[in-house]
A and B are shown apart, each in its own frame.
Chain A
Amino acid sequence: MSALQRVMCVEDDADIRMVVEFSLGTVGGYEVRCFPGGQAALAAVDEFRPDVVLLDVMMPGLTGPETLQLLRQRPVMQGVPVVFMTAKAMPDEVESLLRHGATGMIVKPFDAMKLPADVRLFWEHGRAPGAA
Chain B
Amino acid sequence: MGVPPAPPEQPAGEAAAPVLSDAARARFAVLRERFVAGLPARWQELQSSADPAARESMLHRLAGAAGSFQLPQLGAAARHAEHCCAAGGGAALDEALALLRLRLEEAGVTVR
Q: How many residues of B contact A (CB 8 A)?
A: 32
* A132 contacts B by Cβ under 8 Å: no
The interface residues of chain A lying within 8 Å CB-to-CB of B28 are 22, 26, 112
When the two chains form their complex, are residues A16 and B17 in contact, meaning their CB atoms are under 8 A apart? no
The interface residues of chain B lying within 8 Å CB-to-CB of A89 are 9
Q: How many residues of A contact B (CB 8 A)?
A: 33
A114-B15, A121-B15 are known contacts. Are A15 and B7 too (CB-CB below 8 A)?
A: no
* A125 contacts B by Cβ under 8 Å: yes
When the two chains form their complex, are residues B11 and A109 in contact, meaning their CB atoms are under 8 A apart? no
Chain A interface residues (CB < 8 Å from chain B):
13, 15-16, 18-19, 22, 26-27, 58, 87, 89, 94, 98, 102-114, 116-118, 121-122, 125-126
Chain B interface residues (CB < 8 Å from chain A):
6-13, 15-18, 20, 24, 27-28, 31, 34-35, 60-61, 63-70, 72, 75, 79
